[in-house]
Amino acid sequence: MDNCAEHGDFDVRLCSLLQDGLPIVSRPYASIAEAMGVAEEDAVRGAARLCDAGLIRSISGIFYGQALGYSTALVAAIVPTCRIDAAAAKVSAYPGVSHNYARMHKVNLWFTIAVPPGRSLEKTVGIIAREAGLEKYFLLPVVKAFKIEVKLPLAEGSGYNGKSERLAVRPAAPDPFGLGKSAAPAPTSEFEMSVVREIQEHIPPSKRPFLPIARRLGIQEDELLAAIGAMASSGRMRRLAAVLAHRRAGYKANGMGIWKIPERDIERVGTLLAADPRVTHCYARRGHLEWPYSIYTMVHAGGEKECLNIYSELASRAGRPEYDILFSVKEYAKRRPRYFVPDYEEWYALRESAQ
């Protein structure tokens, strides 16, 4: 199952609906089946089959870490090539590292990190840098999210065959908590934390997928659905949805674009880049004197040549600013961030006891 052409229209439509989001109701697959004009059992079996085949990585809650009180950032580091595997293993050992890649650039190790409430982002990254032997690193928190929540089509015409102009990408979600700004998140209760711990994990398809979770929590299903709905309406949860395994869906290359954009032009260029459906992520991030890149974009495509062509078009539209494209050469970690789990404090306790 290496490309979209192996899937029929049923899979295409089902993947699209699951990426839009699972309805927060007792029988969500009945709602999806009604939209597709099929039986509920067919929708459940289809979703389970796509999960078992590895095309869908997970169906789970997708949260704003900042809205839950976590500090987050992208970190770019320089590591000698001969030590990068060992350094990446140290980086990935931190439970809040969700993505960790080697990329083709002098600044060659890139990872995203979430740090729990009460812990310092700067100090945590400093500890990781010492343990991993990072020669130099840049902490790159978000200043503004122009586009997030990618939705990749599973169909002929998606990125693998050079027709990526047909990509269907969701616009940026509302940002009620001010990503990268000083807005304080709402307090999260112990009950809400227990709900987050459950629904951030894969929820296997079934006629009533939320019922086993409610039973584990010792509550009624209606109570659980109300809690999930409240998190979605408050903005703490972006959506509860399927996430595709990009490579298995036909997207063989991902190129991160880094753009040198003057502060006065960030809003204009960020909006322009985000408007292109082939750009799946677009952020403004805090720059540094030694690393003066202010906008970061992601393009998933069928190959590097296609990616290069897309970026050339984007640069032309943006007025030919200085930019570079960093292709991933090795994936060390790619996992959904996990919140309110004991792994974090265990990691800190181990280091504090050694002092």
Q: What is the pLDDT of residues 54-89, one digit of tens each?
A: 889 999 999 999 999 999 999 999 999 999 999 999
Mean pLDDT, all residues of the chain: 87
Q: What is the pTM of this model?
A: 0.84
- Token pair for 59: 């169906």
Tell me: the pLDDT tens digits for 33-53? 999 999 999 999 999 999 998
With H, G, I as helix, E, B as strand and everything else as coil, classify residue 250: coil
Active-site hit among 7, 99, 281, 300:
99
Q: Which of 285, 309, 287, 311 minimizes the C-alpha distance to 298?
A: 311
* CATH number of this structure's domain 4-64+184-244: 1.10.10.2890
Read off the pLDDT band of 153 (50, 70, 90): low
Percent of the chain's residues with pLDDT above 70: 85
Distance CA 196, CA 192 (A): 6
Distance CA 308, CA 129 (A): 32
Mean pLDDT of 237-257: 79
Stretch (H or E) spanning 36:
helix 28-36
> Which pLDDT score, from 0 to 100, does residue 160 have?
27
Tell me: the pLDDT tens digits for 302-340? 788 999 999 999 999 999 999 999 999 999 999 888 999
> Which pLDDT score, from 0 to 100, does residue 249 have?
54
99 is a catalytic site residue: yes
Strands 97-103 and 109-115: what pairing?
A: antiparallel
Domain parsing of the chain, residue ranges: 4-64+184-244
Tell me: the pLDDT tens digits for 220-235? 999 999 999 999 999 8
DSSP letters spanning 127-179: HHHHHHT-SEEEEE-EEEEEE-------STTSGGGT-GGG---PPPPP-TT-T
Read off the pLDDT band of 246 (50, 70, 90): low
